[in-house]
Amino acid sequence: MSTGKDGVMTTAEAGVTTDVVALRRSVAAGAVGVFVHWFDWAAYAYLAGTVATVFFPAENSTTGLLAVFGVFAVSFGIRPVGALVFGPLGDRIGRKRTLTLVIFLMSGSTLTIGLLPGYGSIGMAAPVLLVVLRLVQGFAAGGEFGSAASFLAESAPRRRRGFGVSWLEVGSLLGFLAGSFVFLLLSTGLSDDQLTSWGWRVPFLISAPLGIIGFIIRNKIEDTPEYRALEANDTVARNPARELFRSHRRELLQAAGLMAAMHVPFYAVLTYLVTYQTDHLGHSDGSAALLSTAISLLGLVLVPLFGMLSDRVGRKPVFVGATAALLVLATPAFLLMRSGLTGTWVAGLGLGAILAAILGTYAVWSAEVFPTRTRQSGLSISYNITAALFAGTVPYLMTVLISATGSTLVPGPYLMVFAVGGLVAALSLKETVGSPLLRPEDVAAAPAEPELADAPGA
């Protein structure tokens, strides 16, 4: 690699060899693990009732469902531990190595769940083993987002960074889409007995070859230009977590606000809404899965467009507009769902469009907030602490609150609270579109970075 003036290598110099093929490979490497991760989470959420039957004693359906959602929440609780391990690790040894490690752990634990005997075969060992494997998945997932978001942000050309990073969420939506499609096939093609006997295992077993493909792709990529610049200048952080908490607490809180405003609608719309439709609106499993599929398809189209829009008009206008819309429309949307199937579809697709705008901007904006030396630590910790506190608890809290209050409108005000939090965080942040990711604090005496727009793939 070449070095700039006074032996200091800049991001532009590190990136001149990056061609279109390499950029496409980077997008695939960043998105494939997210796809595998969310395919698994979607499958678990959609099959919650069946998993409750297989792994927990048959007391009553509500208790079993709450137990499954409790395991769902517990696996989120371990994610901050994974973030504290893999975030700083990625800042010390590089994005590539942590990307490869986390997909290996996630795929292995998912495959094992697909092979796990149920309560009828091994008794209480079944739910215990399920919890252990979900904890392994959650631990590995704690390193996925920070690794992938840092990798994509640092691999994308500056003027198209929003568009490039948006593919991270395209991967997550594809995972949900694939999970909902598989569930649709299983729920319509199999009887209840077949689904309980063996059909529920299919999505978890499918994850194994997907994980192998992702591992191979990630193992062949190079690390990012920014991280290689740190290595070339010997300025890789020795203790990125301490540096983050000492010097970037404000950025950590701001990123957490953005991410909380993403997590809650993401899980409410793409995960909990399936159960909400069947349990509280009286719609069939197939109809609920079909709407989830339609919302995911809408997101696949809109998320990159919103990412591209943020490259043109800025991160702040897109994100603020989306969270303001969520604040105003969340409760009316759940009121509309009471009117019938058509109202449910209109409300669901409307919430999906708002979610797409948030997904298209929050990751790139958060990545631009942190310096390269602590970027993966900051992204991992802020993402996973908010996920543990607010995301994994969505289905559990909604089930409890609706049961306690008797009101099916509970999800609306709940979404409004997090829309306000996202607005506060967004309004406190500066616009970052077009800003360099490698800062003077990252590389001592680093010269100003030239524009990357003319790099291949820009």
- Tens of pLDDT along 407-436? 999 999 999 999 999 999 999 999 999 999
Whether the Cβ atoms of residue 11 and residue 437 lie closer than 8 Å to each other? yes
Shared domain check, 171 and 289: no
State the amino acid at position 122 in one-letter form: I
Count Cβ atoms below 10 Å from residue 278 Cβ, excluding itself.
17
100 lies in the same domain as 34: yes
**Are 323 and 262 members of one domain?**
yes
In a domain, 215, yes or no: yes
Residue 217, pLDDT > 90, answer: no
Query: Is residue 264 located within the same domain as residue 221?
Result: no
Helix H segments across 199-248?
201-220, 225-232, 240-247
**Residue 452 domain flag:** no
Of 345-359, 364-378, 439-453, the poorest mean pLDDT is in 439-453
Residue 261 domain-assigned? Answer: yes
What domain range is 184 assigned to?
19-229
Task: Determine, yes or no, domain membership for 443.
Answer: no
Over the range 330-356, which residues count as b (16 or more CB within 10 Å of their CB) and which as e? bbebbebbeeeeebbbebbbbbbbbbb
Average pLDDT over residues 73-98: 90
* In a domain? residue 201: yes
Contact predicate 21/84, CB 8 Å? no
Q: What phi, psi does 186 have (nearest 5°)? A: -65, -45
Could you give the percent of the chain with pLDDT greater than 90? Answer: 46
- Residue pLDDT, tens place only, 31-76: 888 888 888 877 877 787 788 778 876 665 555 666 766 776 677 7
Identity of the amino acid at 272: Y
pLDDT of residue 454: 39
Q: How many domains does the chain have?
A: 2
Q: Are 201 and 256 in the same domain?
A: no
- The pLDDT of residue 59: 62
| Cα distance between residue 95 and residue 88, in whole Å | 10
Q: Is residue 4 part of a domain?
A: no
Res 246: pLDDT: 94
Is there a single domain that holds both residue 290 and residue 200?
A: no
Q: Same domain, yes or no, for 307 and 354?
A: yes
Asked whether residue 55 falls in the same domain as residue 186, the answer is yes
364 belongs to a structural domain: yes
Here the CATH number for the domain that contains residue 386 is: 1.20.1250.20
State whether 188 and 288 are in the same domain.
Answer: no
| Buried-exposed string 92-118: b where 16+ CB fall within 10 A, e elsewhere | bebbbbbbbbbbbbbbbbbbbbbebeb
CB atoms within 10 A of CB 47: 26
Residue pair 24/95 in contact by the 8 Å Cβ criterion: no
Instruction: Give the tens place of pLDDT for each residue, 309-357.
Output: 999 999 999 999 999 999 999 999 999 999 999 999 999 999 999 999 9
Same-domain check for residues 76 and 200 = yes
Average pLDDT, the chain: 85
Q: What is the pTM of this model?
A: 0.84
End-to-end CA distance of the chain: 21
Tell me: pLDDT of 9 over 90.
Answer: no
Percent helix, strand and coil across the chain, each to the nearest 5: 80, 0, 20
Residues 264 and 325 reside in one and the same domain? yes
Q: Let me know whether 315 and 384 are in one domain.
A: yes
Task: Please report whether residue 10 resides in a domain.
Answer: no
